[in-house]
A and B are shown apart, each in its own frame.
Chain A
Amino acid sequence: MRNEQATQLLFDLSVSGRCGAEYPESDCPEFSSTACIPAEFLSDTPLPLPEVNEPDVIRHFTNLSTLNMSVDTHYYPLGSCTMKYNPKRHERLAAAQGLVDLHPWQSEEDLQGMLQIQFEMQQMLGEIAGLPAVSLQPAAGAQGELAALLVASAYFKDKGENRTKVIFPNSAHGTNPASAALAGFDCIQLGAGKNGFVDLEELKEHLDDQTAVFMITNPNTLGLFEPEIDKISKLLHDVGGLVYIDGANMNAILGITRPGDFGGDMMHYNVHKTFTGPHGAGGPGAGPIAVRDFLADYLPGPVVAHDEESGRYKLQTPPESIGRVRSFFGNVGILLRGYFYLRTLGGDGLKELSEHAVLNANYLKEKLKHILPVPNGEHCMHEFVASAQHLQKELGISAMDIAKRLLDYGFHAPTVYFPLVVPEAIMVEPTETESKATLDAFAATIEKIIGEDPELLHTAPHSTPVSRPNDVQAARNPILRWSPACDA
């Protein structure tokens, strides 16, 4: 039932003379561009954009959208990504007049409702983190990392210390080293510790008065809580360093334990993950950071302050701020959705969601472990990393084969080949918004797939719009835009 006519490239649908938008005549016709702007600035040819009308546009993009798998249409157990349900109430409210239409340069007097929401958001995020000072400005998790590392840098500089090293485990997200390098630090990666945990002895070897920050995801990317996180934190603090918690896996521990309580000094949230952003086909996200009191003055700004006396909310730049990390306040549209979610769930609801996320993950792990063993940990937190290594050896079935074949059965694939510490890794994050029936069906499907002819798996998927794109060809001869020549 695919409409291949409508999903041609937009540029092939173009017919000269069509237009999908109409505007009124100018009510100031005496001021034409040619009369107002010197000719040297003006273009003398129309933009070479395609010409299509509104029904063309709607049919084209509507049909394209149906070529996606999404949380609303499919189970999407993508490890490390927290693909939970995105409540519809958030979409309606975020589009409410008085929120969606506000201009950042309006008078603060006219923005009191918005500023109150953002102030309360700062407070709630500070409470969940156990780290009281919050900046909502970073646009995504990676920018939160960068901002926090610059905060650390400014703090050390004020203390007259020149610390150059940022350390992280080898299971760290790629953004950790990339952010550290961007912030001007030297990167030190630890080897693989036992059972996927940080090896304290190895860590100690790297700790000295040059150590600035240790970045760690906790629960870690294997879905396990670092058992010695408080000792790790103490080691860092003993040499004057700081501990950064990558909050990618906060979905496991809301109301259970707090980064500030296990020794973290700074952290970022991924509002689009934990607080159900949604993901928007790759963004936008929001990556607020929370830090200890003694780092508050360095936060990127502005932040929202509340004057108890007058009851007014106002923007304020922290006194020693590292500066802005982006223009304007932040990714407000996503922060609003996070606020709606926190208010809907309340403190108790947050804890309950983490409990169910962990229950679902452990249940699915249990259902799968006889065919997909999980090398590390007895129980997991919100996700687990299984290995297809034995299947690869015995049957020639790789993690990728299983991932691709799952698509044929209407399941989005789990994350594969990350983290690198597990061979043939299959990283599954069920999330709390899936039923036991879905988890059972998913487990049964994997079992079925493993019994199938391996050849069928190597060439899977067989029912998707395309199958096994040629990445090598794409990289060797990059075609990054349409041009008439591409069609020839």
Chain B
Amino acid sequence: MEVRLSYLFNTPDEQREMLETIGVDSIETLFDQVPESLQLKRPLDIPSKLSELELEQLVRELASRNVGPSDRPCFLGGGVYDHFIPSAVDAIAGRSEYYTAYTPYQAEASQGSLQTFFEYQTLICQLTGMDVSNASLYEGGTAVSEAVFMAMRCTKRHGRVVLLGSLHPEYRQVIETYLGRMDCELVVVPTPGGTVAPAAVEEAIDDKTACVVIQHPNFYGCLEEVEQISAMAHKYGALSIVSFDPISLGILKRPGDLGADIAVGEGQSLGTPMQYGGPFLGILACRQEFVRQMPGRLIGQTTDRNGERCFVLNLQAREQHIRREKATSNICTNQGLIAIRATVFMSLLGPAGMRQVAELSCSKAHYAAQKLTEQDGIELAFDQPFFKEFTLQCRDGAEAVIERARAAGFDIGPALRRVSSGESEDRLLVAVTECRSRLEIDALADAIAGPGQKTVNDDKLATSSAAV
């Protein structure tokens, strides 16, 4: 007996009945509307079907060719971080009432998603100190790009956009791509000392400038003088766009408290696995006055026919399915399920948990910075305050140090040069989250020591290994 694909239903008998109802002899007849000359006359050149068991074996085998953070401690940063994900996040995101639902256009059939996104919007406002949040964008880079377009509409200025050189290079590249055909001058203010000198920003801003884009903590891990830079933008009638790390807000001042007009960020750290770069979460929140220029979906509270509180997609006249070429963005599908993950994550952690994760990451990162720079030929690239990530300057070159770490079973980096060709090849990033231990940091410090150097922690590590 032929085993049929388990996702299809119609048995040969049913097919016959259905074709009879339609009044045709065969399924092929239904495809008559596709001109004969355009039909593919051969099977697709795609490997033959697999049973679930075969698929499982194939994929497990392919996965086994990857070596990842489950195999060795991850000190990698550069925009994606190995933060702990409480199991309740997976439990809720794994509910198929959420993940097999569509965009909540049909409000009566979607109150679960709608209320959850309303709660997401509120949590993001509380996290950032902003007035309004949308229901998500793709990821951190497109969130910054959308914010730039939004600032142009808000200020009615399209001539110039000022970026700090310490913005994540991939975010800068996304902005460059998005602005591709626009007649807009993109000015990058250099940050040779790891952060920007506010005076240099002032020089770059003019009265055609739509916005200044600041990342804080920045790509190098350093903290920027956001309040001063925002004030400078405002002085010239430009908006301040601040790209933040949501985890950092457990201890750092919020964008809304520092003069940001639009706060954007990568929300991966809020309960989403790293999964080789996506799907992630683009956060975008702003001040109330700009709400009608926001991109993406917004959920609003209203009442129903019976006067009950309920939630709907709101202000849709901004969106592509209504406004078409005049829409505030082309985004349709967003990151709903990832926003749900972030909602559950922030709900679980609350103020105390967010503070603890930030505090743990910060303390371990500062210990690591001290420990790693005890090694000969390795020092901090910048003498600036940082949060959970910092840049090392390596005498032997960044790649050599990364390889030493890798050989010893640690992942650190990326080398700055790998992210952007304009960066020094002697520098690399190290990120430390709450998941790393003092012991791992000590072992990493030993691992990155150059050949022939004294490894200060040999004894300690041997003792603790024995204990395990």
Contacts and interface: CB of A to CB of B under 8 A. Distances in A.
Contacts of B168: 327
Interface in A161-202: 173-175, 177-185, 187
B86 A150 contact: no
A98 B63 contact: yes
Contacts of B457: none
A28 B99 contact: no
Given A58-B92, A224-B33, A479-B300, A37 B362 contact: yes
B43 to A, nearest CB: 5
B52 interface: yes
Interface in B304-342: 304-306, 308, 310-312, 314-315, 317, 319-327, 329-338, 340
Interface in A377-429: 377, 379, 381, 403-404, 407, 412-413, 418
A113 B64 contact: yes
B38 interface: yes
Contacts of A464: 108-109, 111
A471 B181 CA distance: 37
A65 B362 contact: no
- Residue among A70, A96, A467 with the highest chain B CB neighbour number at 10 A: A70
Contacts of A101: 68-70, 273-275
Contacts of A224: 33
Interface residues of A, number: 204
Interface residues of B, number: 206
Interface string B96-112: 11111111101111111
Interface stretch (B24-32, B185-193, B199-207, B233-241): B24-32
Contacts of B274: 100-104
A461 to B, nearest CB: 5
A182 B344 contact: no
Given A464-B109, A473-B302, A479-B300, A328 B336 contact: no
Interface in A346-366: 346-353, 355-356, 358-360, 362-363, 366
B275 A102 contact: yes
Given A41-B253, A174-B319, A466-B310, A256 B39 contact: yes
Interface in A66-92: 66-74, 76, 78, 81, 83-87, 89, 91
B52 A72 contact: no
A46 B325 contact: no
Given A97-B63, A113-B63, A326 B139 contact: yes
A24 B84 CA distance: 12
A284 B10 contact: no
A463 B63 CA distance: 46
- Residue among B99, B168, B176 with the highest chain A CB neighbour number at 10 A: B99
Interface in A1-56: 7, 9-11, 18-24, 26-33, 36-38, 41-43, 46-52, 54
A33 B251 contact: yes
- Residue among A54, A327, A347, A486 with the highest chain B CB neighbour number at 10 A: A327
Nearest to B357: A23
B120 to A, nearest CB: 10
B462 interface: no
Contact of A58 (B32, B91, B109, B308): B91
Contact of B142 (A20, A143, A150, A323): A143
Interface string B35-75: 10111100111111110100110111111111111100010
B109 A50 contact: no
Contact of B108 (A52, A83, A95, A404): A404
A interface secondary structure, majority: loop
B94 interface: yes
A89 B59 CA distance: 11
A57 B96 CA distance: 17
Nearest to A69: B109
A451 interface: no
Contact of B174 (A124, A279, A325, A332): A325
A294 B251 CA distance: 51
B424 interface: no
A124 B47 CA distance: 9
A327 B337 contact: no
A229 B32 CA distance: 14
Contact of B314 (A258, A475, A483): A475
A344 B52 contact: yes
Interface string A281-294: 11111110000000
A470 B360 CA distance: 46
B36 to A, nearest CB: 10
B58 A48 contact: no
Interface stretch (B125-133, B373-381, B447-455): B125-133
A436 B18 contact: yes
Nearest to B84: A23
Given A21-B349, A181-B326, A31 B366 contact: yes
A448 to B, nearest CB: 19
B194 interface: no
A93 B56 contact: yes
Contacts of B108: 404, 407, 461, 464-469
A175 to B, nearest CB: 5
Given A102-B68, A114-B276, A280-B99, 5 more contacts: A48-B351, A124-B46, A145-B330, A175-B332, A467-B305
14 contacts: A24-B360, A33-B251, A43-B253, A49-B351, A61-B116, A64-B112, A107-B406, A140-B138, A182-B178, A326-B138, A327-B140, A346-B46, A469-B304, A483-B122
